[in-house]
């Protein structure tokens, strides 16, 4: 590979990969230190010398080796991100938000998908530590402890996103699950729904646990008793399966509150399969507002917990820590906003529904 140089490189350096500042110095007839000066844009370099060096740089296609620079500066200008699955639209959006913010400051992002596999997750963490990323943004799975994560802090700031773990006393940017679920339940209650069920994510995830407990709480506040609460994975398929159990009950719920949009999309599909009309016969509401939520038929009513915003804020926080601001741990909640679309509607009165 490489070494396609057309003879411009000094003989001794032929076929030795990208050119170095020594190559440039030699070609320009200056010292290596001077090359460094012009590259870093120092002021005190005689214009003519600078010109010579610049010409050599172009000729050799010289691109300063950032790994060497990093070794000296002890900063890689890189942040690691590990999430359950980068192909999950929620996390893809989150990474995008972070990337945009990071790229502006010349930071690059190293990604990793953990698949909720503890050993994989751990491997990524230590790998990233070895690579000396300047910071880490992660949506940890339950199998990781606060202590594990804290150990990583010696390498740089770490901020959790979306999920927390027991014992973590550092930074985190989370969705405001309490507000989200409360709004959902209120919306459903206002539409007259009384028989409401919930389908959720795996209880090993903090967000799933939070959403479930806030569901219980706001149902109680509304004087309602959940028909049934099930849980599984945060996937369409699981949503389908969980919806199937709720919809098979004799006292079938008139509304389903899903732990996230993927689950809700699955519920929509299951309702369709059973010939149940949404929203006239069944209301379903999701959580997160992924881009595909508005594309479903009917468009999904959901509550936005903007992933890109979480990513952006996490990135900003890391950058902030990196520039020395260390005003204690910060837990930020990203606002939840109910988005009423077409998958929710007035409930048929309880009597009527019962009679059918």
Binding footprint of DNA on the chain (CB under 7 A) = 16-17, 20-22, 29-37, 39-40, 44-46, 48-50, 62, 64-65, 68-69, 71-74
Rounded CA gap, 317 and 122, in Å?
A: 23
Nearest-approach distance from CB 3 to DNA, in angstroms: 13
Least separation in angstroms between residue 104's CB and its own copies is 11
Task: State the nearest-atom distance from the C-beta of 202 to its own copies, in Å.
Answer: 20
Exposure pattern of 172-207 as b/e (b: 16+ CB <10 Å)? bbbbbbbbbbbbbbebbbebebbbbbbbbbbeebbb
State the SS3 of 287-356.
Answer: CECCHHHHHCCCCCEEEECCHHHHHHHHHHHHHHHHCCCCCCCCEEEECCEEECCCCCCCCCCHHHHHHC
Nearer to its own copies, 151 or 217 (CB): 151
Instruction: Report the partner that residue 45 touches, choosing among DNA, its own copies, none (CB closer than 5 to 8 A by kind).
Output: DNA
* CA atoms of 215 and 257, how far apart (whole Å): 9
Element containing residue 230 per DSSP (H, E): strand 229-231
Q: Which is nearer to DNA, 129 or 178 (CB)?
A: 129
Closer to DNA by Cβ: residue 33 or 275: 33
128: enclosing H helix or E strand: helix 118-130
Residue 33 interface partner, choices DNA, its own copies, none, CB cut-off 5-8 Å depending on type: DNA
The pairing of beta strand 283-285 with beta strand 255-258 = parallel
d(CA 264, CA 336): 17
Residue 292 binds which entry of DNA, its own copies, none, CB below 5-8 Å type-dependent: its own copies
- Residues 207, 201: contact at Cβ < 8 Å? yes
Minimum separation from the CB atom of position 1 to its own copies (A): 6
* Residue 119 touches which of its own copies, DNA, none (Cβ within 5-8 Å per kind): none
Pick between residue 13 and residue 86 the one whose CB is nearest to DNA: 13
Work out what residue 346 binds among DNA, its own copies, none; the CB cut-off runs from 5 to 8 Å by kind. none
Q: DSSP string of 3-25?
A: ----S-S-GGGTTSSS--HHHHH
127 binds, among DNA, its own copies, none (CB under 5 to 8 A by kind): its own copies
Which entry of DNA, its own copies, none binds 157, CB below 5 to 8 A by partner kind?
A: its own copies
Q: What are phi and psi of 111, to 5 degrees?
A: -105, 160
Measured from the CB of residue 74, what is the shortest distance to DNA in angstroms?
6
Pick one of DNA, its own copies, none as the site partner of residue 162 (Cβ within 5 to 8 A by kind). none
Question: d(Cα 215, Cα 184) in Å, to the nearest integer?
Answer: 9
Tokens representing 308 are 């890109």
Decide whether 11 or 72 has the Cβ nearer to DNA: 72
Residue 7: CB minimum distance to DNA, A: 19
Helices 261-273/236-248 angle, 10° precision: 50
Q: How far apart are CA 5 and CA 275, in angstroms?
A: 67
**Smallest gap from residue 230 Cβ to its own copies (A):** 20
Which residues of the chain form contacts with its own copies (CB under 8 A)? 1-5, 17-18, 61, 63-68, 70-71, 74, 76, 78, 85-87, 89, 92-93, 95-96, 99-100, 103, 106, 108-113, 126-132, 151, 153-157, 236, 265, 268-269, 272, 291-292, 295-297, 308, 321-322, 324, 326
* Shortest Cβ 334–its own copies spacing (Å): 17
């Amino acid at each position: 590979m490489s070494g396609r140089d057309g003879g411009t490189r000094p003989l001794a350096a032929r076929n030795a990969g990208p050119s170095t500042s020594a190559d440039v110095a030699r070609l320009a007839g200056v010292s290596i230190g001077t090359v460094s000066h012009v590259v870093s844009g120092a002021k005190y370099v005689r214009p003519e010398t600078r010109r010579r060096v610049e010409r050599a740089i172009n000729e050799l296609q010289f691109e300063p080796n950032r790994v060497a620079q990093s070794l000296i500066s002890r900063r890689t200008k890189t942040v690691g991100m590990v999430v359950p699955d980068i192909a999950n639209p929620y996390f893809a959006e989150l990474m995008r938000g972070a990337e945009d913010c990071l790229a502006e400051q010349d930071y690059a992002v190293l990604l990793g998908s953990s698949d909720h596999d503890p050993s994989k997750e751990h491997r990524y963490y230590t790998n990233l530590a070895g690579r000396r990323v300047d910071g880490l943004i992660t949506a940890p799975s339950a199998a990781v402890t606060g202590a594990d994560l804290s150990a990583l802090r010696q390498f740089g700031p770490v901020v959790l996103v979306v999920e927390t773990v027991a014992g973590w006393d550092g930074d985190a940017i989370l969705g405001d699950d309490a507000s989200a679920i409360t709004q959902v339940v209120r919306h459903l209650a206002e539409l007259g729904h009384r028989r409401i069920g919930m389908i959720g994510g795996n209880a090993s995830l903090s967000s799933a646990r939070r959403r479930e407990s806030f569901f219980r709480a706001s149902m109680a506040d509304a004087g309602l008793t959940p028909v049934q609460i099930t849980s599984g994975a945060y996937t369409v398929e699981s949503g389908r399966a969980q919806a199937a159990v709720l919809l098979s009950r004799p006292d079938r719920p008139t509304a389903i509150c899903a732990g996230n949009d993927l689950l809700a999309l699955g519920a929509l599909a299951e309702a369709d399969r059973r010939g149940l009309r949404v929203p006239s016969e069944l209301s379903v509401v999701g959580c997160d507002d992924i881009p595909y939520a508005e594309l479903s038929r009917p468009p999904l009513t959901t509550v936005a917990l903007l992933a890109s915003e979480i990513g952006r804020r996490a990135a900003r926080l890391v950058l902030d820590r990196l520039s020395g601001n260390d005003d204690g741990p910060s837990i930020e909640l990203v606002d939840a906003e109910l988005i009423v679309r077409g998958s929710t509607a007035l409930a048929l009165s309880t009597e009527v529904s019962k009679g059918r």
